[in-house]
Chain A
Amino acid sequence: MLRYTVRRLLQLVLVLFVLSLLLFVWLRSLPGGPVSAILGERSTPEKVAELNAVLGLDQPIFVQYFKFLGRVLQGNFGQSTGVSPGTSALDVFFLRFGATVELTVGAMVLALAFGIPLGYVAAKRRAGVADNSLIVFSLIGIAVPVFFLAFLLKYVFAVRLGMLPPSGRQTPGIEATRVTGLFIVDGLITREWDASWDAVKHLILPWIALGTIPFAVIFRITRASVLEVQGEDFVRTAEAKGLTKRTIRDRHILRNAMLPVITITGLLTGALLAGAILTETVFAYPGIGEAFKISFTQKDYPVLQVLILASAALFVIINTMVDLAYALVDPRIRVR
Chain B
Amino acid sequence: MATTYSRARKQRIDALVTSGDEGTSLLADAWVRLKASPLFWVGAVIVGLFVILAIIAPWIAPHDPGAQLLIGQTSRARNAIAPGQPGFPLGGDTQGRDLLSRMIVGARQTLLVGILATVIGLIGGLTLGILAGAFGGWVDTVIMRIVDVLLSIPSLLLAISIGVLFSSPNLTSVIIAVSIPQIPVFARLLRGQMLAQRESDHVLAARALGVRRTPIVLRHMLPNSISPVIVQATLVVATSILDAAALSFLGLGSQDTSQPEWGQMLGEAQGSIDSHPQLAFWPAGAIIVVVLGFTLLGEAIREAIDPKNRR
Which residues of A line the B interface, CB within 8 A?
14-15, 18-19, 22, 26, 29-32, 139-140, 142-148, 151, 155, 159, 270-271, 273-275, 277-278, 281, 292-293, 296-297, 304, 308, 311-312, 315-316, 319
Whether B26 is near chain A, meaning CB under 8 Å from some CB there, is no
**Chain A residues whose CB sits within 8 angstroms of the CB of B77 once the complex forms:** none
Nearest CB in chain B to that of A307: its residue: B157
Provide the main secondary structure of the chain B interface. Answer: helix
How long is the Cα–Cα vector from A304 to B160 in the complex, in angstroms?
11
**Chain B residues whose CB sits within 8 angstroms of the CB of A139 once the complex forms:** 292, 295-296
A145 touches B242 (CB 8 A): yes
Q: List 21 A-B contacts (CB under 8 A).
A: A14-B145, A15-B148, A15-B152, A18-B145, A31-B166, A31-B167, A143-B287, A143-B288, A143-B289, A144-B288, A145-B266, A146-B246, A148-B266, A148-B280, A155-B273, A270-B153, A270-B154, A273-B157, A278-B246, A296-B250, A315-B153
How long is the Cα–Cα vector from A250 to B167 in the complex, in angstroms?
55
Provide the main secondary structure of the chain A interface. Answer: helix
B273 touches A30 (CB 8 A): no
Given A18-B149, A151-B273, A155-B273: A145 and B165 interface contact (C-beta under 8 Å) = no
Question: How many chain B residues have a CB neighbour from A under 8 Å?
Answer: 40
Which positions 259-304 of chain B face chain A at CB distance < 8 Å?
A: 263, 266, 270, 273-274, 277, 280, 284, 287-289, 291-292, 295-296
Encoded as 1 (CB less than 8 Å from any A CB) or 0, chain B from 156 to 182 comes to 110011001111000000000000000
Whether B83 is near chain A, meaning CB under 8 Å from some CB there, is no
How long is the Cα–Cα vector from A139 to B295 in the complex, in angstroms?
8
**Chain A residues whose CB sits within 8 angstroms of the CB of B266 once the complex forms:** 145, 148
**Chain A residues whose CB sits within 8 angstroms of the CB of B156 once the complex forms:** 271, 274-275, 277
**Chain A residues whose CB sits within 8 angstroms of the CB of B155 once the complex forms:** 270, 274
A308 touches B157 (CB 8 A): yes
B250 touches A26 (CB 8 A): no
**Chain B residues whose CB sits within 8 angstroms of the CB of A29 once the complex forms:** 165
How long is the Cα–Cα vector from A263 to B296 in the complex, in angstroms?
23
**Chain A residues whose CB sits within 8 angstroms of the CB of B296 once the complex forms:** 139
Given A145-B287, A281-B250: A312 and B157 interface contact (C-beta under 8 Å) = yes
How long is the Cα–Cα vector from A311 to B157 in the complex, in angstroms?
9
A225 CB to nearest chain B CB (Å): 14
**Chain A residues whose CB sits within 8 angstroms of the CB of B228 once the complex forms:** none
How long is the Cα–Cα vector from A292 to B242 in the complex, in angstroms?
19
**Chain B residues whose CB sits within 8 angstroms of the CB of A275 once the complex forms:** 156
Encoded as 1 (CB less than 8 Å from any A CB) or 0, chain B from 245 to 259 comes to 110011110000000
How long is the Cα–Cα vector from A132 to B289 in the complex, in angstroms?
18
Nearest CB in chain A to that of B43: its residue: A139
How long is the Cα–Cα vector from A281 to B247 in the complex, in angstroms?
13
**Chain B residues whose CB sits within 8 angstroms of the CB of A159 once the complex forms:** 274
Which positions 23-74 of chain B face chain A at CB distance < 8 Å?
A: none
Nearest CB in chain A to that of B156: its residue: A274
Nearest CB in chain B to that of A26: its residue: B161
**Chain B residues whose CB sits within 8 angstroms of the CB of A18 once the complex forms:** 145-146, 149
A312 touches B153 (CB 8 A): yes
A201 CB to nearest chain B CB (Å): 21
How long is the Cα–Cα vector from A146 to B288 in the complex, in angstroms?
11
Nearest CB in chain B to that of A32: its residue: B167
Encoded as 1 (CB less than 8 Å from any A CB) or 0, chain B from 131 to 146 comes to 0000000000000011
- 13 additional A-B residue pairs with CB within 8 Å, beyond A155-B277, A271-B156, A311-B154: A15-B145, A18-B145, A139-B295, A145-B266, A159-B274, A271-B154, A274-B154, A275-B156, A277-B250, A296-B160, A296-B252, A312-B153, A312-B157
Nearest CB in chain B to that of A147: its residue: B249
Nearest CB in chain B to that of A301: its residue: B164
Whether B238 is near chain A, meaning CB under 8 Å from some CB there, is yes
B291 touches A143 (CB 8 A): yes
Picked from B153, B238, B242, B288, the residue with its CB within 8 Å of the CB of A308 is: B153
